[in-house]
Chain A
């Protein structure tokens, strides 16, 4: 444009010059020599203008090469070449170096490596006959791997069909002479899940509803459902194993929530009601149902509908119920009859950084043959034969855990997933905690000595967790055991554990 403008201006000058020459020529008659000179001057003027035109034409590509204009041919060729190289490299790496799956899959796993020391000798987990008592050991208590993903992904409404399959390592049973030198690899989770309503896609204010079919953790209480990544203590509460509520079951469970309180100022979502109802075999993982009856389970939790900044944030109360049928065995006989095996639970959860705490109360009712049905099912009344009379063993567990956390591990805004960083950054987080855990496998056994001596156990724990990478933590727990059976001495153990996930 600039070149054209100059040319036009030059044209005007040329016209003016010609006009001037014309004017002068009308004024007086020039000589041949003067005319010749004027022609020469005009010629040189025209040549000069032609040069300017040529310069104007060639100036455009130079301007185009500046950063805020079009790229040059060389730039384009270079970019094209770089893209071709990149495409080739990606394709070659994908073909030769990358694992692929038929569907989008996430591989995850958790490994624990542990050292422990106790004040009483231990024999479990190794040869049952030992020359000298064992007070310390290194262990790998947990190693599992899982694959999860979508069999169908619905971008529009989030009606995804998801799957998960996971395997976990377990030690093989020890013998009298040989340590548990071998291990087995058990199927843990194996389910498909259909999302009927998916607030992750449709919006936080929508409820959540999904149906899960297969082998899965059931919906009882807090600790039984919590993964090892989130548990503050190394050992689970005693009632989890005692009542079997942490055992995976095969069946169908509907989970959802209703009326979520959403504080968009913080992207905080607190569903007023969370619920789960389901039907399962009740016989545990990796086996068919072991009787003609199914187990039924239900859970309801209520979360305080408050703003993120409220002190009541993440205050949740929950109740759980499982109604099951079990085989009542007559000693080791294969003869059995059906009996009830019910579980009831109540829990409180509070987590308002830096303070947090959980309390769980869980109780079981398990049918058993008894000699005298009018008496409680104490140890002396429990029969090892089919007496035709059944009683109920009542078991109770309670766990209170209080923790104080400083660090941003669980803050969405401030951990490595929420804050923009160039490197693999994760905030260090520190969490001291205390726990009191009581388990009474049979509340009818209350005697100080004898057959009905109490089997109640109290475990007090002081612990510390250090989270120093996204999926990695170091834990140290000091557990003090107190047995209500006076014959069993108190003991103490120290466990240090390194847990990493991937």
Chain B
């Protein structure tokens, strides 16, 4: 009898285990760490960034908090080499998520990097062309043949190309040299370059530079900013991707509340390449909600397509890039629904106007 009971117990146990196997097979494996490449770093290589909700998420450590209970570490890479460095890391399988401006995002995609766009990280913003304080230039035309600084390979190069084209010029009309943002500011102060697109306010306050041209609002001049996830990671850990996106949407909401403006800009200024004054002045004509939206709306898609076309037009890529299958909005949509924020941010049309 005892042996029969034993046998039944074994049978029952085996059946139970057998039933559990499919469940275990469906439970998502969790990564040990989440590696995020940020195409920005603070002055002097400080591991800090500012100007977009992902930077605030790092400063608030919200992702660390979200994944603490699972023992998943968040590993940040703040890249002094900006977008191109983030591409290099992803090509060498060192990061799972990447934060990019439009040009390096597109160039990386054109050379075969496999990632999915999952959430927006910013849009709009003023464009200011700055010259040394003693410059005699009154217009861009006065700078023909002179030296203009830009961080090549970053979205800034595309903004410069758009600005020059609108004024009837190309890069070839100037001597365009590649410098990072901190060096551009230093070079304007010493007069080693004759102009650049850069946040001007601290330079102007110090009396070392002046604004030649300022375009406060032009939805077709600035590019969109993006967070993507590697396709391999996304396929393997979709639940983790969802939690990352949901956490970042929550953060974007905090970043969009006007009552947080002062605290937000002070947090961002900790990276010190752009000062608090730069942030206050350059963001004052925008609502936080406008710029910190995570939406992948009509405006986002249209700007990305335009950036692809422009990148080809300016001969900055050698291969075609298609948007088909590149943007994956399901994580964002789920997050918005879960957080009941479907109507929190305005949707914009392709021209940058609020959709009615």
Contact = CB atoms under 8 A, between A and B. Distances in A.
Interface of A: 67-68, 155-156, 201-204, 263-268, 307-310, 353, 408, 411-414, 417-422
Given A309-B113, A419-B78, A420-B45, A265 B87 contact: yes
B125 interface: no
Residue picked from A67, A203, A418, A420, most chain B C-beta under 10 Å: A420
Interface stretch (B104-112, B223-231, B284-292): B104-112
B157 interface: yes
Contacts of B113: 309
Nearest to B86: A413
A309 B152 CA distance: 19
5 contacts: A264-B152, A266-B84, A267-B85, A411-B92, A413-B88
A265 B153 contact: yes
Which 6 A-B pairs rank lowest in CB-CB distance, beginning with the nearest?
A: A265-B107, A413-B85, A420-B41, A264-B153, A420-B78, A420-B47
A155 B84 CA distance: 24
B94 to A, nearest CB: 6
Contacts, number: 110
A7 B146 CA distance: 56
B78 A267 contact: no
Interface string B163-179: 00000000000011110
B97 interface: no
Nearest to B265: A68
A275 B107 CA distance: 30
A310 B103 CA distance: 19
A244 B205 CA distance: 61
Given A307-B318, A309-B112, A414-B89, A419 B79 contact: yes
Interface string B98-127: 000001100110111100000000000000
Residue picked from B94, B177, B178, most chain A C-beta under 10 Å: B178
A202 B94 contact: no
A227 B176 CA distance: 33
Contacts of B111: 263, 265-266, 307-310
B193 to A, nearest CB: 9
Interface in B158-201: 175-178, 190, 192
Given A204-B152, A414-B89, A267 B81 contact: yes
B306 interface: no
A309 B81 CA distance: 17
Contacts of A353: 92
A68 B316 CA distance: 43
Contacts of B79: 413, 418-420
A204 B178 contact: yes
A410 to B, nearest CB: 10
B88 A412 contact: yes
A413 B93 CA distance: 12
Contacts of A420: 41-42, 45-48, 78-80
A202 B83 CA distance: 20
Contacts of A309: 91, 111-113
A201 B157 CA distance: 17
B147 interface: yes
A283 to B, nearest CB: 42
A412 B107 contact: no
Contacts of A310: 111
Nearest to A307: B111
B260 interface: no
Nearest to A204: B178
Contact of A421 (B47, B88, B108, B110): B47
Contacts of A68: 262
B94 A408 contact: yes
A421 B176 CA distance: 30
B206 to A, nearest CB: 15
Contacts of B41: 419-420
Nearest to A353: B92
A418 B180 CA distance: 12
Contact of A413 (B81, B108, B152, B192): B81
Given A307-B111, A413-B86, A203 B42 contact: no
Contacts of B318: 307
Contact of A412 (B83, B85, B94, B316): B85
A267 B83 CA distance: 9
B48 to A, nearest CB: 7
Contacts of A421: 45, 47
Contacts of B89: 411, 413-414
A414 B87 contact: no
A397 to B, nearest CB: 34
A203 B48 contact: no
A414 B80 contact: no
Contacts of A413: 77, 79, 81, 84-86, 88-89
Nearest to B177: A203
B153 A422 contact: no
Nearest to A265: B107
Contacts of A201: 177
Contact of B87 (A67, A156, A266, A418): A266
Contacts of B81: 267, 412-413, 418
A230 to B, nearest CB: 19
Contact of B147 (A156, A307, A422): A156
B152 A203 contact: yes
Contact of A156 (B85, B192, B262): B192
Contacts of A264: 84, 107, 152-153, 157, 316
Contacts of A268: 88
